[in-house]
Amino acid sequence: MSPRDGALIRAAYGEHVDHVPVWFMRQAGRSLPEYRAIREGIGMLEACMRPETVVEVTLQPVRRYGVDAAILFSDIVLPLKALGLDLDIVAGVGPVVAVPVREQEQVSRLPEFDPNRLEFLQAAVRALADELGDVALIGFAGGPYTIASYLVEGGPSRDHARTKALMRGAPELWHELMARLVEIVAGTLRLQVRAGASAVQLFDSWIGGLSPRDYRRYVLPHTQAVMAAIADLNVPRIHFGVGTGELLPDMASAGVEVIGVDWRVPLDRALGRIQSGQAVQGNVDPTLVLAPWEVLAAEATEILRLGRAAPGHIFNLGHGVLPSSDPDALARLVDLVHAFPVEDGG
Amino acid sequence: MSPRDGALIRAAYGEHVDHVPVWFMRQAGRSLPEYRAIREGIGMLEACMRPETVVEVTLQPVRRYGVDAAILFSDIVLPLKALGLDLDIVAGVGPVVAVPVREQEQVSRLPEFDPNRLEFLQAAVRALADELGDVALIGFAGGPYTIASYLVEGGPSRDHARTKALMRGAPELWHELMARLVEIVAGTLRLQVRAGASAVQLFDSWIGGLSPRDYRRYVLPHTQAVMAAIADLNVPRIHFGVGTGELLPDMASAGVEVIGVDWRVPLDRALGRIQSGQAVQGNVDPTLVLAPWEVLAAEATEILRLGRAAPGHIFNLGHGVLPSSDPDALARLVDLVHAFPVEDGG
């Protein structure tokens, strides 16, 4: 068997599955003691650029949980860092960019995509694809809007006020910036698929802060460009952002096979808004993992039940695993999902 | 003329108006130089507890913009502070509670509502109602969920993980905590209306982080209790939270006359989800105030156009005025709203 025949890829394409596939955003990371041990004394971006660390960290949750997919351990700003942009991930803060990108000058100076500078990524993906066998490996990239927001703000931001000021005040410069990022994002995803990734997920985490009108005007064409640039690779394309209930119909027009749904929008409503046949992924509130098992189990079961009406359903949280999550609760959740009958036996 | 005959209250009740009423959440505050001047050297909570400061700060935007309503300058944690709870508002952080409320012991020790400890609030409201004449004065209170989140987390939080853990893990304690807050919130609103406020707004800012199922189970009954406790006062009740697109149908069942709508959900969709005849308030993205005037004007006009289909429309931003906003842009926006024909002349 190859990953292509496994439940995750089959569900992504809306094909019949023998069990509901499951993985967790940020399944590799701070909630795992074995991850915290390996990260001791190593910065986040440094860890992401060491193939042997990436391989080990990516495999940890697969070993522990028996999930249906590994997700490449990485960060959305990693490609820019590897291509030479001066940025870092500061613990407790997030990505911090040395010179915020707000003028033509800085946009023009953004690095070009260069696969040679991402050889560590190819090496990691190749080794992972070998190790994983029939378990799917999901390639990872940040979406252009979310990356742009870090570049323009210079770091994390609550309102993305400068980002939105740039896109509305200097739309030509904005579209140029986004086009530059599309090239880097698409290049990074192509490289991962060519090295063996069996699916990709575009994390455009912060698009949910945009109204649908703004999303369609300033972001969607660029997401479509990313997706079009990898269409020939024939792997499922998953697209995810937080708080995107109002954007789902537009996200469905981006050229994707799977749409990630956060926990704010009930899965049945999400399905009603996605009329173009895509599979869905999600949508458990990540804080439910901290709840008593009976509460988590009841919500998970309800979501699995609603997921039966989807063309395909990949079980996941509605955002990343919280660092304070108990790995045993996630392990139990995987067992619950795998034991859930894919068809109503009634 | 009294505030009852003004455009704001009339629109709130779905009555005919001669112009669309407008005010801005956080219109009194850091975007105004005259506010920054008055706040110099005075802590936020201290400022909120000095009637003469509250009056002056509340009036500043009315003088400057000619808005249709003043909103009492206050903070959602103020009543608890005034009633004796040990908390503060730390600049750049937000409300910080000395002893987080997570156990029965702390819930039992929460202060009772006592109007005598809120005399400064009565004094401020009385003076404001006198000064404002026919301009509406909106009373202010935080919603029980949002206040609870600060109490349980001990401060601001991105995920409200502890809050949600408490509500799911100890639902009886949660409901007891919420019932205690309902008493304080309702008491604070009653006091303001009796002192002369012509409407009230319940800011339950963070409810949008809840799924509709969780909202209905853990929050809505308490919001209904607040609204029921002030129903006999015969002033319009406005209810607002951020990112509440999925909650609008439930919020509409809380016993309110006006539902605040943030910018993520287009106004026509919001109206489609509110089938019980309420007026709406909103929904301009606060970052649009930082955009070139033409962009802001076009979006505002589109929202005004969509608002014509509402039983009543109070123009506002979809969240608070950002501190970096230019007051002149807001002044121009008020003029645009006031000049907009309430009926399609075509």
d(CA A70, CA B97): 40
Structural contact between residues B121 and B192, judged by C-beta atoms closer than 8 angstroms:
yes
pLDDT confidence tier of residue B345, bands split at 50, 70 and 90: low
pLDDT for A5: 93
- Extents of the domains making up chain A: 3-339
Structural contact between residues B6 and B68, judged by C-beta atoms closer than 8 angstroms:
yes
CATH tag, B3-339: 3.20.20.210
pTM: 0.96
pLDDT for A261: 98
d(CA B262, CA B317): 7
d(CA A204, CA A198): 20
Residue B150: count other Cβ atoms within 10 Å of its Cβ. 25
Side chain identity at B33, as an amino acid letter?
P
A143 interfaces chain B, CB cutoff of 8 Å: no
Structural contact between residues A289 and A317, judged by C-beta atoms closer than 8 angstroms:
yes
pLDDT for A343: 83
- Chain A positions in Cβ-Cβ contact with residue B164 (cut-off 8 Å): 285, 287-288, 290-291
Structural contact between residues A230 and A237, judged by C-beta atoms closer than 8 angstroms:
yes
> How far from the centroid of its chain's Cα atoms is residue A346's Cα?
35
Can you tell me the ipTM of this complex?
0.94
Rg value, chain B, Cα: 19
Q: Of chain A residues 175-234, which have a CB less than 8 A from chain B?
A: 208-214
Out of A165, A263, A285, closest to residue B287 by CB: A165
User: Which of A205, A211, A263, A283 best probes binding to B when mutated, by most B CB atoms within 10 angstroms?
Assistant: A211
Structural contact between residues B251 and B224, judged by C-beta atoms closer than 8 angstroms:
no
CA distance A197 to chain B (A): 31
Mind listing the pLDDT tens digit for each residue in B36-82?
999 999 999 999 999 999 999 999 999 999 999 999 999 999 999 99
Mind listing the pLDDT tens digit for each residue in B229-279?
999 999 999 999 999 999 999 999 999 999 999 999 999 999 999 989 999
Identify the residue whose tokens are 């079009």: A228
Q: Which residues of B55-83 are buried (b: 16+ CB within 10 A; e: fewer)?
A: bbbbbbbbebbebbbbbbbbbbbbbbbbb
Structural contact between residues B282 and B320, judged by C-beta atoms closer than 8 angstroms:
no
CA distance B262 to chain A (A): 10
Query: Which of B287, B320, B286, B281 is closest to B304 using CA atoms?
Result: B281
pLDDT confidence tier of residue B344, bands split at 50, 70 and 90: confident
Q: Number of C-alpha atoms within 13 angstroms, CB side, residue A94? A: 13
B50 catalytic? Reply is no
User: Which of A264, A273, A306 best probes binding to B when mutated, by most B CB atoms within 10 angstroms?
Assistant: A264
User: Is the CB of B214 less than 8 angstroms away from the CB of A285?
Assistant: yes
Side chain identity at B331, as an amino acid letter?
A
